[in-house]
Amino acid sequence: MNTTVTSLNPILIAGPCAAESKEQVLSIAEQLQDLPVTYFRSGIWKPRSRPGTFEGIGSVALAWLNEVKEMYGLEPCVEVANTYHVEDVLEYGIQTVWIGARTTVNPFLVHEIAEALRGSHVQIMIKNPVNPDLELWIGAIERMTQAGLTVIAAIHRGFSQYGTHRYRNDPAWEIPLELKRRMPNLTLLCDPSHISGNRSLLLEVSQNAADLGYNGLMVETHHQPDAALSDRPQQITPRAFSELIANIIWRNATVSDPIMKHSLEQLRALTDSMDHRLLQLIAERMKLAEKIGKVKKEQDIQIYQPERWNEILENVKQWSNELNLSSDLMSKLFEFIQQESIRKQSMVMYGKILDETTKQ
Ligand code: PEP
Ligand code: MN
């Protein structure tokens, strides 16, 4: 299993949520030293939701991180959230930092950090903002690169949500995947610790990330997780980290076998033609929506009829179940179809579609 991990070279970042004492930091590093760890992470200044909890040990830990590098050969990285943090990091010669989710949301802070780092050779990783806003995430990356800095990775740690859910933070996988589509050369890492908030879910989130083509993981690792001063339920021991990475299957991005490659291409061509047919069907359905719109206009009735929409959703759920499709996802798909149908009907109401069709 280990050979699967190392042969594809995922970037693996491990280390505690927060540095708590020199002994703690060095003990974790010692236990990680023989594992394929690319960076040793440690929070020093902790952005806690509520005051009165452990807010980090502060810059004294930067010296410990340099010892981690000297004694165990692990490259340290820390979170910086303001220009004072940057000053300390530069003073101690730390080469890699990350911007946390609560900082990425704030363009003023991101700009100030970028300016404070300008001219340095510090490498940066940028976590997604706490809110599901891709433009903010991209904006933070751009602010760093425009200051001449090197962004080595984006880190997906999920998005805040209210109430109790399976995961601490909503992964909303479509957002990082869209980031990857728009910035294909950017290294994308997953932080399953902050997504899941629970060590028992780390493997499922990590495997999902590996299956989606992520380039690596950041995992909170502590020598005594249950005694950690922050994020206790999600931290794992270095030994559990070693088991975790041994169990993740990192698949190849492309097929090398020519026969399999050919059959994959054929299947993709079929998928493309089916997608085309799906869109043609939707277009036909929209023609019906326009006809319905005309009747509604003539009868002067509202475009949106809640009972009818409920009826459609009930059908979708029943048919999805019969067809072994996720009724939740198919309901979402139909929300979009319904939106397009309402858009077409309101265009009919206001005469635009009628004008366009008469021209054809
Ligand atoms: C962290 O990595 O410890 C941290 C505070 O994460 P986030 O910014 O993702 O909340
Ligand atoms: Mn944490």
First to last CA, the chain: 62
The span from the CA of 269 to the CA of 276, in Å, is: 11
Helix (H, G, I), strand (E, B), or coil: what is residue 175?
helix
CA of 194 to the centre of ligand 1 (A): 7
Q: How confident is the model at residue 359 (pLDDT cuts 50, 70, 90)?
A: very low
Among the bound ligands, name the one nearest to the CA of residue 191: 1
CA of 100 to the centre of ligand 2 (A): 10
pLDDT average, residue stretch 274-303: 92
Contact between residue 55 and residue 18 where contact means Cβ atoms under 8 Å apart: no
Query: Measuring CA to CA, which residue among 183, 157, 181, 182 is closest to residue 171?
Result: 157
Rounded to 10 degrees, the C-alpha dihedral 199/203/205/211 comes to: 170
H/E stretch holding 67 reads helix 60-72
Residue 142 has pLDDT above 90, yes or no: yes
The minimum-distance atom of ligand 1 relative to the CA of 128 is 9
Instruction: Look at ligand 1, atom 1, and give the residue with the nearest C-alpha.
Output: 17
Tens digit of each residue's pLDDT (9 = 90 or more) over 317-340: 999 999 999 999 999 999 999 999
The minimum-distance atom of ligand 1 relative to the CA of 218 is 2
pTM: 0.80
Mutating to test ligand 1, I would choose from 80, 127, 156, 219 the residue with most ligand atoms within 8 A of its C-beta, which is 127
Q: Which residues line ligand 1 (CB under 6 A)?
A: 17, 43, 47, 100-102, 127, 157, 194
Contact between residue 221 and residue 16 where contact means Cβ atoms under 8 Å apart: yes
Mutating to test ligand 1, I would choose from 131, 170, 191, 222 the residue with most ligand atoms within 8 A of its C-beta, which is 191
The minimum-distance atom of ligand 1 relative to the CA of 158 is 9
pLDDT average, residue stretch 218-239: 98
Buried b (16+ CB within 10 A) or exposed e, 101-137: bbbbbbeebbbbbbebbeeeebbbbbbbbbebebebb
Residue 7 has pLDDT above 60, yes or no: no
Percent of the chain with pLDDT over 90: 84
Contact between residue 69 and residue 77 where contact means Cβ atoms under 8 Å apart: no
CA of 231 to the centre of ligand 2 (A): 5
Residue 201 has pLDDT above 70, yes or no: yes
Rounded to 10 degrees, the C-alpha dihedral 290/291/297/302 comes to: -70
Structure tokens at 192: 């399953």
Tens digit of each residue's pLDDT (9 = 90 or more) over 98-120: 999 999 999 999 999 999 999 99
Residue 2 has pLDDT above 70, yes or no: no
The minimum-distance atom of ligand 1 relative to the CA of 103 is 8
Q: How confident is the model at residue 4 (pLDDT cuts 50, 70, 90)?
A: very low
- The one-letter amino acid code at 112 reads E
Per-chain mean pLDDT for the chain:
93
Residue 353 has pLDDT above 60, yes or no: no
